[in-house]
Homo-oligomer: A and B are copies of this chain.
Amino acid sequence: MRFTAEALSDGVREQLFTLGDVPGVLWTPEDAAGTRPLILMGHGGGQHKKAPGIVSRARRFVAECQFAAAAVDVPGHGDRPKDEKYDRIVTENQARVEAGEELAPLIAGFQALVARQTVPEWRAVLDAVQELDHVGTGPVGYWGVSLGCGLGVPFVAAEPRVRAAVLGLGGALATAEVAARITVPVEFLVQWDDERVPRTQSLALFDALASAEKSLHANPGKHGEIPAFELDSTLRFFARHLDRRM
């Protein structure tokens, strides 16, 4: 793990790093010392580790909960090179949609393929970040919607360090079987008028989660229009499950 840049603002330390060829970012409280909960965040399709929706959430996890937060670029996104294998599949899928195939199953299949790479990458990031003195091996939460849900479901299912997850804006097609292996508490976000994920598929993915505690939060609006008050709920959800002090 190699740190490449560092910045401080409003009490939050932001450290850019690379782990092998994976570029990432770690946010911690400015004066952090000792073990604390860590939220790993998965960004959306076409976004990257420092997309506004990632940064704003990470800074609130740090500032309000004293947690650490980390995000990395998904293959083909952010500071990572284009990936010819994935690009070829995307191009093929576009042709198949133009030829009349449904988009949703193609996206789901693609996300399942990418997850074979991101699950081990993200587990390695957890290993490395938790070795840092100012993070340590505390409980882990996962936050990811849309692509971050498609890649997050296999990650949360595979990684026993994750104790709670916020997921959503994703459907059940490729992930329902994997979701049935998730047993940690989940807060699951649905946009009632999502133009990309059919409502029935969102509800089916929530239904498939094996978690004894899972809450579906559905709000009006399109795919990208999660209301601001849901972030307040996310903070309380992680505080309740990861930090007995709060």
A21 contacts chain B at the CB level, 8 A cutoff = no
A219 engages B229 (CB within 8 Å): no
How far, in angstroms, from A240 to B212 measured CA to CA in the complex?
A: 29
How close is A217's CB to chain B, nearest CB, in angstroms? Answer: 6
- Please, how many angstroms separate the alpha-carbon atoms of A213 and B220 in the complex? 7
Cross-chain contact B220 with A217 (CB below 8 angstroms): no
Number of residues on chain A facing chain B (CB within 8 A): 21
Candidates B211, B213, B216, B229; contact of A217 at CB < 8 Å: B216
Indicate whether A215 reaches chain B with its CB closer than 8 angstroms. yes
User: Considering the complex of A and B, which 8 residue pairs feature the smallest CB-CB distances, nearest first?
Assistant: A216-B218, A215-B219, A217-B217, A215-B217, A214-B220, A216-B216, A212-B220, A215-B218
Q: When chains A and B are docked, how far (Å) is the Cα of A219 from the Cα of B217?
A: 9
Q: Which of B190, B206, B213, B236 contacts A227 (CB 8 A)?
A: B213
Q: Which A residues are within 8 Å of any B CB, using their own CB?
A: 190, 192, 203, 206-207, 211-220, 227, 229, 232-233, 236, 240
CA distance A232 to B232 in the complex (A): 12
- Bound state CA distance, A214 and B220, in angstroms? 7
Which residues of B sit under 8 angstroms from A240, Cβ to Cβ? 229
A217 to B190, CA, bound (A): 10
Bound complex: CA of A214 vs CA of B191, how far in Å? 11
Instruction: Kindly state the separation between the CA atoms of A216 and B216 in the bound complex, as whole angstroms.
Output: 7
State in angstroms the CA–CA spacing of A190 and B214 once bound together: 12
Cα A214 to Cα B230 in complex, Å, equals 12
Residues of B within 8 A of A233 (CB): 233
Task: Compute how far the CA of A214 lies from the CA of B193 in the bound complex, rounded to whole angstroms.
Answer: 12
